[in-house]
A and B are shown apart, each in its own frame.
Chain A
Amino acid sequence: MSDTTPILRINALTKTFNEFTALHAIDLKVHDGEFLAIVGPSGSGKTTLIRLLVGMDEPSDGSIWLRDQRIDEMPANKRPTCMVFQSLALFPHMTVGQNIEFPLKLRKVAPEDRKARALELLDLLRLPQDYYSKRIDQCSGGERQRVALARALAFDPEILFFDEPLSALDYRLRKALEKELKDLHARTGKTFIYITHSLEEAMVMSDRIAIMRAGRFEQIAPAEEIYARPVSRFVAEFMGEVNLFPIRAGQAEGVTLSPAAASAFGGATGTLMVRPESLQFLEGEEHAELTFAGRIEAEYMLGSRVQYTVTLEGGQTLIAEVLRENAMPGGPGTPVRLGCAAAACHLIAEA
């Protein structure tokens, strides 16, 4: 990312509803042309944040800057930003064409030019031209999605916000649209800020991910970094199934560390994160840098992989995922030993 002025900058933005603080003085910088995903569990304040950014609500404190202009006092209809609603919020009394042309009509663009632009956008979103005069209730969920996008693009915003626009769609359509959206981002070169509670969705599409928790950003980083080096247990767990072991003075209960690994962790205190897919079954008396011993509790087929739940000797539960060809014969009850390399683990400073 370049050092130029960010397109959007948020300073100590706070929002309180009566007694309840939904956003705690958060900071954020978004670069021009970036695809930023904001991910967090339900109630973490994602919608609240986006409503402040588009101007649908007023912040209790802090400031919002669009390039060099402070915009937090500016009403939503004057801001050069636009949002695709969770509900899409298409206008049911208008045709597809009229919906798309709506922002242009407000700007008094001539009808021929409006129509030309609407047809262009239909094309961009891979909708047939004859959809122009279709009614909204004749469109399928995925088509409506595209109409909502086309309408937002017709507005030609500086930043396009999305509030979980795909959450109502079925899995396959969602997957297809995720890719399309990423593609659209590349083709339009606009700045996209996308809210979702699915990390998977965020990973597929975005340049950077901001993980939100109870009104704060827990970590803002590219997907690989969040995946490999989560800053907290919350982020680690949010990323999917992981094994977390408290580590104190270089010793973790339930894990046997080789001398090399012990010195690598150097008497650290925190949480050791071991991904299920980093684990391998060990044969005989073989030792790895990190070794776990226990008994298989359950096994699940995950297509090309097999997932095991292992109860360790100390009583902890370990989740391991191996390729089908490396699977352990024997099933539940079998005593097993598993190992992984220290480099594949990540030490989280938080206990």
Chain B
Amino acid sequence: MQRRDRQLGLLYAAPLTLFLVLSFLAPILLVAGFSTMPAKVFDLAHMPDFSAYGEFLRQGYWKSVAWSLGMALVATLILFVICWPLAYGMAKVFKRFTLVLTIGVVMTLFVSENIRLFGWVLTLMKGGLIEGYMRHWFGTGFDGLLYNVPSIVFGLVYVYLPFMLFPLAQGIAMVPDDARQAAYDLGATRWQILREIELPLAAPGILVGSLLCFVLSAGAIAESKLLGGQAVIVIADEVETAFTYGQNWPLGAALAMVLIAIVGGLAIWGIGRADLDRMIGRKG
């Protein structure tokens, strides 16, 4: 019986599996193929040539990767710190208000990311909402708040907030109230409950939220372009440039492969550790 269930399961999963392989794996293989193409040849049938990867090291593209990963890490940490209390409230305290908050956060996703970021540009730029009013009221202005690293991180935090908030709320909802109360009864302080009970039991939610935010932030481009100007060049920007202005497809593909390898490796490692079954409530 169990064997048959298994076989049937595999059969049902087959079309989707095929689709995923074609739509997910195939492009990656294609990019991998391009990345080993000799420069300016445009031919997939050739001897593999890894000079594009050498370029990555020589030309200092690793700096862009470092910036991307660094800012993604900082944004993820900030998001975690901001979202934990909010998610805690959603899962445990707000009750009816949770729905309002959910709708509010989800609604922002209905407006394109670029438009929302432009909103911030208008707010933060010199002569924009903040600086303009400051000058109007106090007579002196300043340089505007745009075009630096913190404003990029701010943009990342702003755009990816829902991706941290909801998994985290889900994770916190998995912490049984009685475990929290038992720890308190056994003498744990608020802080010890957080460290010993809540963080470990909410770990799957934390992991999923952090992975989503980190992966999305690491590949983000709009925040750095719109809010960061030329402050730093992120890796996604380099990839775009290589494919468009640079017309150097192997380089663009190689850069993309590096990013995919780092982010993909991280995601696989993370998901391997998260107990997703428990998260969707199939056990425990």
User: Which residues of chain A have a CB within 8 Å of any CB of chain B?
Assistant: 54-56, 75-78, 82-83, 85, 87, 89-93, 102-103, 105-107, 137, 151-152, 155
Minimum Cβ distance to chain A for residue B185 (Å): 5
Of A102, A151, A152, chain B has the most CB atoms within 10 Å of the CB of A102
| A77 touching B187, Cβ below 8 Å | yes
- A77 with B189, Cβ < 8 A, contacts A56-B181, A89-B176 known: yes
Q: Mark B173-189, 1 if CB is under 8 A from A, else 0.
A: 00010110111111111
Minimum Cβ distance to chain A for residue B274 (Å): 13
Interface size class of B (residues with CB under 8 A): 10 to 19
| A103 touching B186, Cβ below 8 Å | yes
Bound Cα distance A78, B188 (Å)? 9
Q: Which of B139-158 contact A (CB under 8 A)?
A: none
Among B4-12, B32-40, B111-119, B195-203, the stretch that binds chain A is B195-203
Bound Cα distance A105, B181 (Å)? 17
Contact of B60 with A by CB under 8 A: no
Q: Which of these, B178, B181, B196, contacts A102 with CB under 8 Å? A: B196
Please, which residue of chain A has its CB at the minimum distance from the CB of B181?
A56
| A76 touching B185, Cβ below 8 Å | yes
| A102 touching B183, Cβ below 8 Å | yes
Q: Which of these, B178, B187, B200, contacts A89 with CB under 8 Å? A: B178
Contact of B244 with A by CB under 8 A: no
Chain B residues in 8 Å Cβ range of A77: 184-189
| A89 touching B179, Cβ below 8 Å | yes
Bound Cα distance A106, B182 (Å)? 13
Minimum Cβ distance to chain B for residue A72 (Å): 16
Please, which residue of chain A has its CB at the minimum distance from the CB of B174?
A92
- A91 with B185, Cβ < 8 A, contacts A85-B178, A102-B196, A106-B192 known: no
Minimum Cβ distance to chain A for residue B102 (Å): 27
Please, which residue of chain A has its CB at the minimum distance from the CB of B178?
A89
Please, which residue of chain B has its CB at the minimum distance from the CB of A137?
B284
Chain B residues in 8 Å Cβ range of A90: 179, 182
| B201 touching A92, Cβ below 8 Å | yes
| B185 touching A151, Cβ below 8 Å | no
Chain A residues in 8 Å Cβ range of B188: 77, 106
Chain B residues in 8 Å Cβ range of A107: 187
Bound Cα distance A75, B193 (Å)? 14
Please, which residue of chain B has its CB at the minimum distance from the CB of A51?
B181
Bound Cα distance A85, B177 (Å)? 11
Bound Cα distance A191, B188 (Å)? 22
Minimum Cβ distance to chain B for residue A289 (Å): 54
Please, which residue of chain A has its CB at the minimum distance from the CB of B199?
A93
Among all A-B residue pairs, the 8 with the closest Cβ atoms = A89-B182, A89-B178, A103-B186, A93-B200, A106-B187, A77-B187, A87-B178, A76-B185
| A76 touching B192, Cβ below 8 Å | no
| A76 touching B179, Cβ below 8 Å | no
Chain B residues in 8 Å Cβ range of A56: 181, 184-185
Q: Could you jot down 28 A-B contacts, CB within 8 Å?
A: A54-B185, A56-B181, A56-B184, A75-B184, A76-B181, A76-B184, A77-B186, A82-B185, A83-B182, A85-B181, A87-B176, A89-B176, A89-B178, A89-B179, A89-B182, A90-B179, A90-B182, A91-B179, A91-B183, A91-B201, A92-B179, A92-B201, A93-B200, A106-B187, A106-B192, A107-B187, A152-B186, A155-B186
Minimum Cβ distance to chain B for residue A187 (Å): 22
Please, which residue of chain B has its CB at the minimum distance from the CB of A86?
B178
Q: Which of B10-31 contact A (CB under 8 A)?
A: none
Chain A residues in 8 Å Cβ range of B184: 56, 75-77
| A93 touching B201, Cβ below 8 Å | yes
Minimum Cβ distance to chain B for residue A86 (Å): 8
| A102 touching B186, Cβ below 8 Å | yes
Chain A residues in 8 Å Cβ range of B189: 77
